[in-house]
Structure 1
Amino acid sequence: MADYEMILAERRGDVLVVTLNRPDRLNAAPPRMFDELREALADLNGARAVLVTGAGRAFCSGADVGGGALGSDDPGNTTFTALTAHYNPTMLAIADLAVPVVTAVRGPAAGIGCSLALAADFCVASDTAYFLQAFVNIGLVPDGGASWMLPRLIGRARAAEMMMLGERVPAARALEWGMIHKLVADDALDAEAFALAERLAAGPTVALGLMRRGLGQALDCSYAEAMNREAENQRKVRGTADSMEGGMAFLQKRKPAFKGR
């Protein structure tokens, strides 16, 4: 794997593990961190699932505004450029990945870090985790796709609560709201999240990739369009080796051994 300044990336079996690596700043994310994350995701090199986590006691405390990364004499345009040239392309790259994505969250997932955590197919959070949209407290608006993502995950009323009141949502409440997949003890987080990523990596990769993309598109299309896309996707996966293996395993009453193709 390539060497990076702000993240760590390593293959563990069929899982690409990416760690946000600025623990001294609670993994606050300058634009460069998201560029490196996007570069790592573009180099899957055969990985069949991705796990994103944070070093130390935080997932990501947000964009690194305090570190001066977005400061300038024209802050509005500087922030616009940082979002459109760095953060947003990375969020779109995650949405377009052909393999499942898991995030492991401990401590704060705030601002762009909240968007990143919830962009995964499965967000596993420790009992220390919390999710925060604090923009209102500094006179800004949510970004990183939060205004699209949150209403779809938790409904308009709860999304408004998060965005317009700017209060922490502890992991237990996030689970109750259906925002995350699972809540675990802090010392079990790494193992639980990796086990889930490993399970996904052992699945039928082509079908899983089409599923995640279909889920992302489902709320923005008609019923008929969704069914047409399902039919097209079935045509794509029906001839894969994994589909053939799944059928044979069913007939032979055994567990399938998917190869990701």
Structure 2
Amino acid sequence: MAYETIDFKADGPLARITLNRPDRLNSFTAQMHQELRDALSKLGDARVIVLTGAGRGFCAGQDLNDRAVAPGEAVDLGQTVENYWNPLIRTLTSLPQPVIARVNGVAAGAGANIALACDIVVAVKDAKFIQSFSALGLIPDSGGSWHLPRLVGQARALGLALTGEPITGEQAAEWGLIWKAVDGEWLDQEVDSIANKLAALPPLGLAAIKSIIRTSGSRTLDEELDLQRDEMRRLGFTEDYREGVAAFLEKRPAKFTGR
């Protein structure tokens, strides 16, 4: 597929995806959904994915012009969510690779919730996270109503969702909504540092960490302890674990193969 609304580069262990409609703050059309879905299915040997936006924003969510509704007409938003937004959030959260959101500006509506669905979010301090749904009589979709209370608690989740009040990247980091906020000139350095660090770590272990933490809310403590036992047993038999121990004892860099 030739991409017109995204830029996709898979460079060895790193895959970089840029939402590329800067004139529309990278808001989504059906075409962008299709192209992003295709890119996420062609990650090859990538061990880490970086998702960002072109220009001055990360993503403004749904491009309302792409599903324009004439006065008096109705549109099935549930079908849009089912066909496009839900599959995207499920893919981002279930990929074995860590996904880093590089938030370079405004992240609004579903665009904010795409960022929150990523595993690590690094934003510029003056970025804006906006739950803009209430102004249209809607709810925070794209995983928003699930992620928000788990990340910042019910009180702040309700405040953000009901008022639609923007918060900066710096405030989002202080609240625990995202991992880190940095000055704009340090954004690329910080994201690249994290991406390169993760790309050098054992991929099977990272995939297991992502999976177990993302699903822990569905288990009791006893169930979690049993799963931890099983995962430690499984990972302890991998070549990567043996390589990690050998490298530590021999005081040399480890070379992990994902086996």
CA distance in 2, matches of 1:170, 1:213: 29
CA distance in 2, matches of 1:82, 1:188: 36
**Unmatched runs of 5 consecutive residues or more in structure 2:** none
CA distance in 2, matches of 1:260, 1:195: 21
Could you tell me how far 1:23 is from its partner in structure 2?
A: 0.3
- Match in the other structure for 1:122: 120
Could you tell me how far 1:117 is from its partner in structure 2?
A: 0.7
Match of 2:215 among 210, 214, 217: 217
SS class of match (1:191): helix
**Aligned: 1:10 with 2:46:** no
CA contact (8 A) 1:11 1:17 kept: yes
CA distance in 2, matches of 1:35, 1:127: 31
With over 3 angstroms needed to count, the CA separation of the structure-2 counterparts of 1:244 and 1:34, relative to structure 1, is: same
- Match in the other structure for 1:253: 251
CA distance in 1, matches of 2:15, 2:199: 10
- Post-superposition Cα deviations, 1:170-196, rounded to whole Å, max 9, x if no partner, equal 111101101111111112212321221
- Match in the other structure for 1:93: 91
Could you tell me how far 1:29 is from its partner in structure 2?
A: 1.0
Count of aligned pairs: 257
SS class of match (2:181): strand
CA distance in 1, matches of 2:12, 2:226: 35
Q: Kindly report which structure 2 residues correspond to 1:58-137, keeping only aligned pairs within 5 A, or say none.
A: 58-65=57-64, 67-69=65-67, 71=69, 73-75=73-75, 77=76, 79-137=77-135
Report the residue type matching 2:208 in the other structure.
L
Root-mean-square deviation (CA, aligned residues, Å) is 1.5
TM-score (structure 1 length as normaliser): 0.93
CA contact (8 A) 2:124 2:170 kept: no
CA contact (8 A) 1:202 1:260 kept: no
Report the residue type matching 1:151 in the other structure.
P
Report the residue type matching 1:49 in the other structure.
V
- Post-superposition Cα deviations, 1:136-180, rounded to whole Å, max 9, x if no partner, equal 112111100101001111111111111011100111110110111
SS class of match (1:19): strand
TM-score (structure 2 length as normaliser): 0.94
CA distance in 2, matches of 1:94, 1:199: 20
CA distance in 1, matches of 2:226, 2:34: 35
Misfit runs of 4+, over 3 Å = 70-73
Could you tell me how far 1:70 is from its partner in structure 2?
A: 5.6
CA contact (8 A) 1:106 1:130 kept: no
- Post-superposition Cα deviations, 1:189-230, rounded to whole Å, max 9, x if no partner, equal 123212211211111001101110111101221111112222
User: What is the percentage of aligned positions where both structures have the same residue?
Assistant: 39
CA distance in 1, matches of 2:98, 2:179: 14
Q: Kindly report which structure 2 residues correspond to 1:237-248, keeping only aligned pairs within 5 A, or say none.
A: 237-248=235-246
Match of 1:228 among 212, 226, 229: 226
Report the residue type matching 2:119 in the other structure.
D
CA contact (8 A) 1:126 1:184 kept: yes
SS class of match (1:219): helix
SS class of match (2:88): helix
CA distance in 2, matches of 1:229, 1:71: 48
CA distance in 2, matches of 1:12, 1:191: 17
- Match in the other structure for 2:24: 25
**Unmatched runs of 5 consecutive residues or more in structure 1:** none
**Aligned: 1:201 with 2:199:** yes
- Post-superposition Cα deviations, 1:39-75, rounded to whole Å, max 9, x if no partner, equal 211111110010000000000011111x233637332
CA distance in 1, matches of 2:181, 2:11: 23
